[in-house]
Every structure is written in structure tokens, then in C-alpha cells.
Amino acid sequence: MSAMVTFFPVGCGDMALIRLADEPATHVLVDVNIRVAADDDADDTRDVAKDLRDRLPRDAKGRPYVDAFLLSHPDKDHCTGLEKHFHLGPIDEYPSDDQPDAEKKIVIREIWSSPMVFRRASKNHTLCADAKAFNREAKRRVQRFRDGKLLIDGERVLILGEDENGKTDDLGTILIKTGDKFRTINGRWSSYFEAHLLAPMPRQDDDDEELLSKNHSSTILNMQLASSALHPDSCRFLTAGDAEVAIWERLWSRYKATPDVLAYDLLLAPHHCSWHSLSYDSWSRLGEKVKVSPDARSALGQARFGARIVASSKPIKDDDSDPPCIRAKREYKAILGDHSGIFHCTGEEPNARSPEPLEMEISASGVRRKEARARGVAAVTAAAAPRAG
């Protein structure tokens, strides 16, 4: 099967599933936002839990699983539904083997967590129950590692970015330092995947710390996804949670001499297409007088030929709301215009009335939306608008 990234329609929130081209396919989930309305049969909000489960493999015991789950940062719209749909706790206490498939908890074989991102988030607000549950589970797994216990599926953890004051210095193989690249998922080396950890940025001085905390510090990864063993660099997927303008400015100052580090074929527009990822100005207050930050725009402007930018948000309206923000969409479309790229919004695919998961297929020639026909839907738009494919 081909490699694919699926973006689920979860309103202003993130939930994206990466399927690698290996066999059996490795699955990495980035964030989760399964709202109560999506779980309610009487509500017409898209049942994204079913959409996710339909795409996940089952293990030898019939349990649905992801090989890795990354929480970009612990805001509600990135972790809602975690406790309800996923198994947290020791794998030998898995509770739902007797349940029907649709009700079985999803096993997280390896959890990807950043203590630094958690530290910055909890300075600014109280964490929601799902975020606290995630943090407990990550800490439990780290403790298990420190205790020298066997690392098995459902118990692994990878720490992304160093914590302050040397708190993560003893973590050896389970610590990825910011600026490093890694190729292991759930303890296995992959020739179909490489990720470059670009943020969280390590702690420097207090002023800097304050600014980074207020800019929705998030884990930022630029992932290289292979379409086959012969084509390891078919797609760069840049994913950045809700990171805002000051973080992108710092990334540009760090990588402007090597901009390929920030190059992408697929960009999840940070913070649900918020203008604050590109500018310090308020769109709702200043309107067309707002100014873009040239450095943030450069950091987010490294689109490769035919790139796609996806806003994970409700439909983007031509008004003063933010996020999603029409001005940010215009800026992203301008970036893409120079590279024959296409902009998508999860709340508008295929239409705003009943959005469906947006599936981006990866081939040797790049990224394209899986065709309507292949999705089992009447091929209405594909034939009429080849550019939209």
C-alpha cells in the first residue's frame, strides 16, 4: 500500500494519521480531537473515531493500535477523546478484549512526548483531563524505562526535546534532542521514515522562556516519508501544532543558511491557519493594515514544487475570525502560487456541509489528494478539476 497522510475533519483542532509505505504498514497518529458530538449517534458531526478505527491495523489479539502517538502540545483541541478511546496504563491491564471491535481501546505502542512543551503549556493554563492523563502515561513509561524494565509494545516512550535543568539527561536512547534526526518508530529502525526534530527549543534566558511559552510552544517535526524503499524523500511533512510567530522567526534565524531543513511537500498550517503564526498584528483589530513577519513567512515559505498546505479547521470565512483566518489562507496561497501548490481546509473537503477525511497519497512524484473514485465516492470533482486531484 502507498504511504498516506489522512487529516480528519475535527473542527479547529488537529488529528492526522500517517501510514508508511512499509509492510505491514507502520501508523503514526499526530494529535487527537474526538469531540463528544462526534461520538454521539444523534448528532451529525462526523464520526471521526470510526474514521480513525477503520484505518488502523489490529494486532494478534485483535486490538486496534497505533505504532506511535505524538501529542504536539497539551491543548484540549489536540488531545480530546484520548482517555475515552485509547488504552492508558500497563499493557497487561488492557481492559477491552471481550468488547466488540468498535469499542476496544486503541493501544499506543509508543508514546511521543515533550516535557518541555508540557512545562511551557502548564505555565499558561490549567491542563484538561486528557492532557493530564497523557502526561501521567508518558511519565509512567519513562519511570519504567528508568527502572530497567523490558521495553515492549504498549510500554515504549520517546522523549522529544530536552527538559530544563538536566532532567532528561539520563534518558539515553529514548531521548531525541532538538536539532537531531531519528528513524526509529516503536523501537524499530525504518528505511521509510526520518524525522527532524526542530522544536521545542531548549531553555535559554527568562525573557526568551516567557515568549516561547506564550507562542503555543509545540513539538515541530519535519518528517521525510518514503513512497517506496527506492524513494526515501518523496514527501516532507512539516507538522507544528499551534506554534506561533516568535517560534517561526527563531527557526528562520537558525536555519536560513540551510533552508532545506524547513522544506515541505505537505504542511499542516500551524494553529489551524491562525494569522498569529505569520504576524504579531491582530487581524480582527487592524484588518488589511496587518504586516507579515518576513522571517516567519520565510520559515513557513519553503514549499517544494506541487506542495499542499492543509488547514485543520472549520471552514475559512472571509471575515475577521482567527483562527482560521482568511488573511493567513491568502498568505499560504501566495506561498503555494510560486510552486504550483494547492491549499486545503479539512472543514471544506469535499464540501463544508459534510466534510470527510482528507487523504493525501504519497508517490514518487509527490503528494496528491486520493481521487474521489478511489475513495469510493462518485467522481464528481476529480474529472472536472484535475488540478484539485
Residues that bind Zn ion (CB under 5 A): 77, 242
Q: How far is CA 361 from CA 57, 178, 331, in A?
A: 18, 29, 25
Give me the residue label for grid cell 532528561.
168
C-alpha cell, 341 = 501548490
Coil, strand or helix at 212: helix
Beta carbon nearer to Zn ion, 321 or 381: 321
Q: How far is the CB of 111 from Zn ion (least distance, A)?
A: 19
Beta carbon nearer to Zn ion, 156 or 216: 216
Residue 184 CB-density burial (10 A; 0-12 exposed, 13-18 middle, 19+ buried): middle
Q: How far is the CB of 312 from Zn ion (least distance, A)?
A: 8
Q: How far is the CB of 358 from Zn ion (least distance, A)?
A: 17
Beta carbon nearer to Zn ion, 142 or 243: 243
C-alpha cell, 142 = 519513562
Residue 357 CB contacts under 8 Å (≥ 6 apart), including other chains: 6, 7, 8, 9, 48, 51
Helix residue spans in 45-187 (DSSP H): 48-55, 76-79, 82-85, 115-124, 129-146
Give me the residue label for grid cell 462526523.
46
Q: How far is the CB of 130 from Zn ion (least distance, A)?
A: 13
Q: How far is the CB of 32 from Zn ion (least distance, A)?
A: 12
Beta carbon nearer to Zn ion, 15 or 171: 15
Q: How far is the CB of 346 from Zn ion (least distance, A)?
A: 13
CA distance 118 to 13: 18
C-alpha cell, 264 = 515541505
Within its chain, how far is the Cα of 70 from the centroid?
7
Q: How far is the CB of 281 from Zn ion (least distance, A)?
A: 20
Beta carbon nearer to Zn ion, 244 or 361: 244
| HSE-up of residue 336 (Cα within 13 Å, Cβ side) | 19
Q: How far is the CB of 202 from Zn ion (least distance, A)?
A: 23
CA proximity to 273, closest of 13, 5, 6: 13
What count of other Cβ atoms lies within 10 Å of the Cβ of residue 383?
11
Q: How far is the CB of 262 from Zn ion (least distance, A)?
A: 21
Beta carbon nearer to Zn ion, 135 or 234: 135
Beta carbon nearer to Zn ion, 49 or 268: 268
Beta carbon nearer to Zn ion, 242 or 244: 242
Beta carbon nearer to Zn ion, 72 or 222: 72
Residue 212 CB contacts under 8 Å (≥ 6 apart), including other chains: 120, 200, 201, 246, 247
